[in-house]
Amino acid sequence: DAGVIQSPRHEVTEMGQEVTLRCKPISGHNSLFWYRQTMMRGLELLIYFNNNVPIDDSGMPEDRFSAKMPNASFSTLKIQPSEPRDSAVYFCASQAAGSGELFFGEGSRLTVL
């Protein structure tokens, strides 16, 4: 298993543009998490899904952020419109039922100019 796969690995865009980050969880895992990593705030939980259903999106910063999980093998995190303060590394992680352990992707480094 290749583990959690995220794309793109790096994204540079201009303020106001739409950004879509993608994640493929480990097959068989039923929970998926999106985190944002910054120097100042560390790892912040944005949203998580269980069995493709969003359970808690209280960490989503504002309406510019949205996330979907149309099926068990794919999730997206969208930012529209993007702003320079959104620059960060975005991590996706998946978890098997009852496991507790998170398996992380390599992250998507977003730079908004």
- Interface residues toward other proteins, by CB under 8 A: 3, 31, 33, 35, 40-45, 48, 50, 55-56, 91, 93, 95, 98, 100-102, 104-107
Choice between 31 and 82, CB closer to other proteins: 31
Choice between 3 and 61, CB closer to other proteins: 3
Distance, CA of 73 to CA of 23 (rounded, Å): 8
- For residues 56-76, one letter each, b for 16 or more C-beta atoms within 10 angstroms of the residue's C-beta and e for the rest, the string is eeeebeeeebebebeebeebe
Distances (CA, A) of 39 to 44, 78, 88, 102: 11, 22, 9, 21
Kindly state the smallest distance separating residue 43's Cβ from other proteins, in Å.
4
> At 104, is the secondary structure helix, strand, or coil?
strand
Kindly state the smallest distance separating residue 39's Cβ from other proteins, in Å.
9
Kindly state the smallest distance separating residue 52's Cβ from other proteins, in Å.
13
Choice between 59 and 81, CB closer to other proteins: 59
Enter the tokens of residue 101: 């352990």
Kindly state the smallest distance separating residue 86's Cβ from other proteins, in Å.
19
